[in-house]
Structure 1
Amino acid sequence: MTQTPQPQVWPTLRARDARALIAFLVEAFGFEETVVHGEGDRVDHAQLDWPPGGGIMLGSERDPGEDNPWSLPPGTFGAYVVTDDPDTLLARATAAGATVVYGLRETDYGSRDFAVRDPEGNLWSFGTYHGEPRKG
């Protein structure tokens, strides 16, 4: 049996209301909730997968301190996510309440993309640019 390779880079963010953000990311963008650990309103660790590949990890906001060196302020995350259908995704995202930063546009590097903010203030850019092939 061949296993699908797992991502080796995991963008990570914190949220004031992690459970609400997870629900939003699933509804608005189509992320898939893979696992959520934590009790009550607190999320210690969550993994959301992007169906074409890759994913993100997130958790509830935590106070900085010696026992929490991984302290990130909520709302400061930004990501570019590849999609083959930005038109449909923008309609889905705005229907779910995403705030449009800029609408659909064609870029000089061949992408059709848009950008929105989630309820926590994080910036999400979605487009058709798959990146340049690796050299060598």
Structure 2
Amino acid sequence: MKELIRSKGLSSSISYRDPKSAFRFLETAFGLKPLFVILDADDEFVHAEMTFGDSVVMIGREWSDDHRSPRSIDGKNSQSVHVQLAEGEDIDAHCEHARAAGASILMEPATQFYGERTYRAKDPEGHIWIVGVIVQRMTPGQWDAVSGLVTRERLD
């Protein structure tokens, strides 16, 4: 394995009851690529990281009352993970692949007013994943005209 180098940026860290199964699911269903997995002396999962494009998702087990899988807290989510496909990728095929791998599809692929086609899915433990691909490049003025909304760079 190579030396781990991190660039400035953001990443998500997701807690699972069964992180080994989640790791395998995320690779199969959504196409995340393994970066590394850390196991303890008993072969128990400690931490892992996966990539998608230039992004990193950290996978871990539940380790405190504040780090729980939706499966452990009545299916509740406080955030979701957005997976951005490259322009030209087939999001409908991606959705079908995720469904076949066991994802529960919450919203079928649909084109949004801002020019992106998206679908929503839940992984086996209840984390919500939103997958999108740009199908029409639009300016904020164009999507505002279609939606009736107002887009600004700042609140003030």
Q: TM-score scaled to structure 1, two decimals?
A: 0.80
5+ residue gaps, structure 1, are: 65-70
Structure 1 residues 119 and 110, CA gap change in structure 2 (3 angstroms)? same
Matched residue of 2:45: which SS?
A: coil
Is the radius of gyration larger for structure 1 or structure 2? Answer: 2
Distance in 2 between residues matched to 1:63 and 1:5, nearest whole Å: 26
Structure 1 residues 83 and 7, CA gap change in structure 2 (3 angstroms)? farther
Higher relative contact order, structure no. (Cα contacts within 8 Å, ≥ 6 residues apart)? 1
Matched residue of 1:44: which SS?
A: strand
- CA-to-partner distance for each residue in 1:87-126, whole Å, 9 max, x for gaps? 1210110010100100010101110110100001000000
Question: What residue in structure 2 maps to residue 79 of structure 1?
Answer: 81
Structure 1 residues 63 and 21, CA gap change in structure 2 (3 angstroms)? same
5+ residue gaps, structure 2, are: 71-76, 140-152
Percent identity between matched residues is 25
Equivalent residue letter for 2:28: E
Question: What residue in structure 2 maps to residue 44 of structure 1?
Answer: 46
Distance in 1 between residues matched to 2:100 and 2:123, nearest whole Å: 12
Question: What residue in structure 1 maps to residue 117 of structure 2?
Answer: 112
Alignment of 1:23-102 (within 5 A): 23-39=24-40, 40=42, 42-50=44-52, 52-64=53-65, 71-75=66-70, 76=77, 77-84=79-86, 85=89, 86-102=91-107
Distance in 2 between residues matched to 1:124 and 1:97, nearest whole Å: 13
Equivalent residue letter for 1:125: I
Q: Determine if contact 1:19/1:41 at 8 Å carries over to the other structure.
A: no
Q: Determine if contact 1:18/1:42 at 8 Å carries over to the other structure.
A: no
Q: TM-score scaled to structure 2, two decimals?
A: 0.70
Distance in 1 between residues matched to 2:12 and 2:64, nearest whole Å: 20
